[in-house]
Amino acid sequence: MILSFRHRFVFVRARKVAGTSVEMALSAVCGGDDIVPPMIAVDERQRQAMGGFSGNYSAHPRAELAYARTVLAVPDAQLGKLQPPTSLYTPHMSVADIVAVSGHSLDGFRLIAIARDPYARVISFLHMRRHFDAYIAGQGMPGEATGLARELDQMIAKGGIPALACHAMYAGMTPHLLRHETIEADLNALGDLLGVTLPALPHAKRGALSETIDPRTVFSRSQLDWINEAFADEFTAFGYARI
């Protein structure tokens, strides 16, 4: 998430929508008073290297600055061992939670959010879940996505994937939507709207390119039906077609 007083926008970051990449780009035009929480070290290194900003997320500005500097200085093998400073803000906060923690009204602010096909989000989530430990250690993730049907069954048995619910995160505000499938063009257009030049969009957490995968080759009919029901509000609100 980002709360930018300089440009009067709030960025609410759902999971598995390219939110890390967009937050990196948006943070590069933030001001010194804007609220931008830290990322895990491997992502924070990429953000700092491209001129991104992180700060004002805790009561300890020295610790914030030290973390930003440390992620650029440590050897690659040490990245996975670095822990961000304690933050008052989490990466995937809702509008209501941002208002509650910051104490700021968002009247007159633009809400920026990203929409992505729910099938692709589920594939990306399951793939990331499997390979996250390797990713935070700086090893990247494989491009193939296999065995995800069993992963989904396990998640459903444990109660589903509530972490992917995003429509309710925007309650109270109408989002300016960036579409994952046209994300670079949409981000450039947003930069024009804000009157800023945004850096080229990085590709953080690159793994399986979910949009290139037909969900019918990954999931069973019953699993597709479960996704259709679990993410019904997103299919309707964002105009994605159900299989």
Both tokens of 86, joined, read 């304690």
pLDDT tens digits, 176-185 = 999 999 999 9
Number of domains making up the chain: 1
Mean pLDDT taken over the chain: 90
Greater pLDDT, 74 or 210: 74
- Residue 204 confidence (pLDDT): 64
CB 194 within 8 A of CB 4: no
The whole-angstrom separation of Cα 53 and Cα 134 is 25
In a domain, 165, yes or no: yes
- pLDDT tens per residue, range 2-13: 999 999 999 999
pLDDT of residue 212: 80
Interval 60-77 mean pLDDT: 93
The answer to whether position 51 is within a domain reads yes
**Total-model pTM:** 0.90
Is 243 among the domain residues?
Answer: no
Query: What is the extent of the structural domain holding 216?
Result: 2-238
Total number of residues shown for the chain: 243
9 in a domain, yes or no?
yes
**How many whole angstroms separate alpha carbon 202 and alpha carbon 18?**
10
- Quote the percentage of the chain above a pLDDT of 70: 91
- Cα–Cα distance, 118 to 212 (Å, whole number): 14
Q: Over pLDDT 90: what percentage of the chain?
A: 77
Residue 191's pLDDT band (cuts 50, 70, 90) = very high
Q: What is the pLDDT of residue 136?
A: 59
CATH code at position 87: 3.40.50
Per-residue confidence (pLDDT) for residue 80, from 0 to 100: 84
Q: Is it the case that residue 103 has pLDDT exceeding 90?
A: yes
* Residue 105 pLDDT exceeds 70: yes
Q: Is residue 195 part of a domain?
A: yes
12/111 Cα distance (integer angstroms): 7
- Whether 225 shows a pLDDT value over 70: the answer reads yes
**What pLDDT digit, counting tens, does each position of 149-175 carry?**
999 999 999 999 999 988 889 988 999
Residues 121-146: tens digit of each pLDDT: 999 899 887 766 566 555 565 556 67
Q: Are 118 and 188 in contact (CB under 8 A)?
A: no
Distance between CA atoms of residues 148 and 129, nearest Å:
10
Could you write out the DSSP letters of every residue in the chain? -EEETTTTEEE---TTSSHHHHHHHHHTT--TTSBB----HHHHHHHHHTT---B-SSS-HHHHHHHHHHHHHS-GGGGGG--PPP-SS-TT--HHHHHHHH----TTPEEEEEE--HHHHHHHHHHHHHHHHHHHTT----S---SHHHHHHHHHHTT--GGG--GGGGTTS--EEEEGGGHHHHHHHHHHHHT--PPPPP-TT----GGGS-GGGTS-HHHHHHHHHHTHHHHHHHTPPP-
Q: 203: pLDDT confidence band, cut at 50, 70 and 90?
A: confident
Place of tokens 């939670």: 97
Predicted pLDDT at 37: 97
Cα dihedral angle (241, 14, 161, 99), rounded to 10 degrees?
-130
User: What is the reported pLDDT for 7?
Assistant: 97
Domain contains 109: yes
Q: Is residue 163 part of a domain?
A: yes
Q: What is the pLDDT of residues 7-48, one digit of tens each?
A: 999 999 999 999 999 999 999 999 999 999 999 998 999 999
Instruction: Pick the closest to residue 227 from 146, 150, 119, 133 (CA basis).
Output: 119
174 occurs within a structural domain: yes
Q: What is the mean pLDDT of residues 85-100?
A: 96
